Amino acid sequence: MANNSADIIIIGGGAAGLMAAAGAAHTYASRGISGRVIVLEKMLRPGRKIMITGKGRCNFTNLKQWNEFSGHIHPKPNFLKPSFYNLTSEKMIDFLESHGMETVVERGDRAFPASHLSSEVVDTLVKAAQEAGAELICNKEVSEIVRNAEDTGFNIRCVDGAAYTCGKVIICTGGLSYPKTGSTGDGYRWAESMGHSIRPLFPSLTAMVPEGYKTSESGKEIKGHIDRSTPVSEIGRSLCGNQLKNVGLSLIIDGNEVQNEFGDLDFTDGGIEGPIGFKVSRRCVNAIINGSKVSAVIDLKPAVEYEDLYVRIGTLWNEVSKDKRNANKLYKDRFKLLLPKVLPMSLIPAFTRLNPNVDHKTLAKALKNWKMDIVGYVGYERCVITAGGVNLDEVTAKTLESKLIPGLYFAGEVLDLDADTGGYNLQTAFSTGYLAGISAAR
């Protein structure tokens, strides 16, 4: 076989691509077939996006069973079902451990490498693919994929002038998120050039930007996509760094509550993030793009009913007012003594600024119903995942082969499949990659 000829070429050496390589090469080996599997990766090293997952700790899967796992997959969880059952979360852990990586499971059924180093996940995936017999070629950027004249395979051209031929192609190029890791949307372009339709793309698992949180150089209001590097305003600075535990978050679109989540929320230099911020961001971004009015409502005391909180605050207010040390203090100074009893100190400046008319009688309502209008979102430069992608109606779920072009397969983020934070996206990439690999090799 000529040097630049292969049975299967996988484009993209990320989570889906490396698992596709392992699956394809292992399938050939187990059948005693000397099939050649090549991975072409545009970056100098594979798995660049895995390296930054979970702030470098890499929550690589989630051990929830399918009935619960599927509730975290969008927009068509049933499309993922054949891939998931072919390589479940438990099987993924077994796969990594069989190649020498120890794992641990933390709260929320989230699995990590025991070392808490994402680099170990990448190294293990590369080792597994290469031990199975796949070849990994880095710094090799593909520019074009075309069917050959006989419609029996594919010709692949690279930016550096190299050319490859193969019988089957698996596109695992990821989406548009974190473009510095190599995700620049190439796969969508190639899919379209071969007749596939692309569902609308938008950033997900990203920061939501409240009104007044960021400042433009001109001082004008900014909306829609607001780059992460845009400076935070004085209001933004007073919120930034606050991490809220066990709060409620409701998403309001055009006056209707469409989603309600409970958990942890962070204010960052991007805006509202954290697990529940990310969870509602998919609908939030889509609504803003479509011109809807969006608000987020934070319930700082979700475990306490409004009536009980109102009574509790009244009791605390009486204690403050009756304290002899406060006898001659102004109302505003006594109110300042009440706030730390119900709010974290670091949150008080921003809370009072954004609720300027709050007093001890309206405090319970403000704590349960802290509303912020959302005017924008951080885009692909720092979002975790790309929503939208190759239309699932044009791909066979049981094999991940194109229904339009025989021998063409898709896996990972390039598909119109995305998920919530918590290990679901990487497992989706691993499962679809592995199924595409073994399907192409059969």
Give the list of residues 6+ apart from residue 39 with CB closer than 8 angstroms, or none. Answer: 9, 10, 11, 12, 13, 17, 18, 20, 21, 46, 129, 134, 135, 136, 137
257-284 residues labelled b (16+ CB within 10 A) or e (exposed): eebebebebbbbbbbbbbbbbbbbbbbb
What is the average per-residue pLDDT within 31-37? 94
Q: How far is CA 223 from CA 21, 219, 236, 293, 317, in A?
A: 42, 12, 15, 11, 40
User: Rounded to an integer, what distance in angstroms lies between the CA atom of residue 191 and that of residue 405?
Assistant: 10
61: pLDDT confidence band, cut at 50, 70 and 90?
very high
What is the pLDDT, as a whole number, of residue 64?
A: 98
What is the average per-residue pLDDT within 356-366? 96
Q: How far is CA 41 from CA 13, 17, 211, 396, 437, in A?
A: 5, 9, 40, 25, 16
The candidate with the shortest Cα–Cα distance to 236, out of 201, 207, 275, is 207
Taking 70 as the threshold, does the pLDDT of residue 2 lie above it? no
What is the average per-residue pLDDT within 190-218? 94
Give the list of residues 6+ apart from residue 190 with CB closer than 8 angstroms, or none. Answer: 144, 145, 171, 173
What is the average per-residue pLDDT within 240-267? 97
Three-class SS of residue 306? helix
What single string gives the DSSP state of each residue in 162-214?
A: -EEEEEEEEE----SSSGGGT-SSHHHHHHHHTT--EEEEEEES--EEETTSB
Taking 50 as the threshold, does the pLDDT of residue 129 lie above it? yes
What is the pLDDT, as a whole number, of residue 152?
A: 85
What is the average per-residue pLDDT within 26-30? 96
Q: How far is CA 442 from CA 131, 165, 437, in A?
A: 19, 19, 9
What single string gives the DSSP state of each residue in 41-95?
A: -SSSSS-HHHHTGGGGT---EE---HHHHGGGEES-HHHHHHHHHHS-HHHHHHH
Instruction: Express as a percent the part of the chain with pLDDT over 70.
Output: 99
What is the pLDDT, as a whole number, of residue 359?
A: 95
Q: Which residues pair with 261 in a beta bridge?
A: 249
Query: To 10 degrees, what angle do helices 424-441 and 77-86 make?
Result: 70
User: Rounded to an integer, what distance in angstroms lies between the CA atom of residue 142 and that of residue 188?
Assistant: 13
pLDDT digits (tens, 9 = 90+) for 268-305: 999 999 999 999 999 999 999 999 999 999 999 999 99
What is the pLDDT, as a whole number, of residue 431?
A: 98
What is the average per-residue pLDDT within 112-133? 97
What is the pLDDT, as a whole number, of residue 55?
A: 80
What is the average per-residue pLDDT within 60-89? 98
What is the pLDDT, as a whole number, of residue 421?
A: 93
What is the average per-residue pLDDT within 99-113? 96
What is the pLDDT, as a whole number, of residue 39?
A: 98
pTM for this entry: 0.93
Domains contained in the chain, CATH given: 5-199+389-441 (3.50.50.60), 206-383 (no CATH)
138: pLDDT confidence band, cut at 50, 70 and 90?
very high
Taking 90 as the threshold, does the pLDDT of residue 25 lie above it? yes
Q: Residue 47 carries which side chain, given as an amino acid letter? A: G
pLDDT digits (tens, 9 = 90+) for 174-198: 999 988 888 889 999 999 999 999 9
pLDDT digits (tens, 9 = 90+) for 379-410: 999 999 999 999 999 999 999 999 999 999 99
Across the chain, mean pLDDT equals 95
Taking 50 as the threshold, does the pLDDT of residue 1 lie above it? no
Q: Which two tokens stand for residue 163?
A: 């050319």
